[in-house]
Amino acid sequence: MAGHYETGGVLYDEMRVLSIHGDFIRYEITGSVDVTLHYGSGSDGATIEENFPFVCTTAATTAEPLKLLSDRTEMKVDTSSWHGEPEEEDAP
């Protein structure tokens, strides 16, 4: 999308429990992330501010249910709006 980018604010909308199995709780977190896209360099550089939705699946132990485990975390950022791709609900 860009030669360089910066991640800004990360806002979450919802955190819900997917499952509880043994010693682990699986969560799904949805929200959006602010990014700054950088193009070019020096005096001819340009930046564009964007916001994209994300879905994150993660886990925590039942002993520490709010301490999310990075090795059990997967983040997916939906950049389809940037590429002009139709959203899933609008797709044929």
Domain boundaries, the chain: 4-76
Q: What is the pLDDT of residue 41?
A: 76
> Do the Cβ atoms of 12 and 23 come closer than 8 Å?
no
Q: What is the pLDDT of residue 7?
A: 79
Q: Taking the chain (92 residues) in consecutive chunks of 10 residues, what is each chunk's mean pLDDT?
A: 73 95 96 88 80 95 96 93 66 54
Q: What is the pLDDT of residue 47?
A: 84
Torsion of CA 89, 27, 69, 31, to 10 degrees: 40
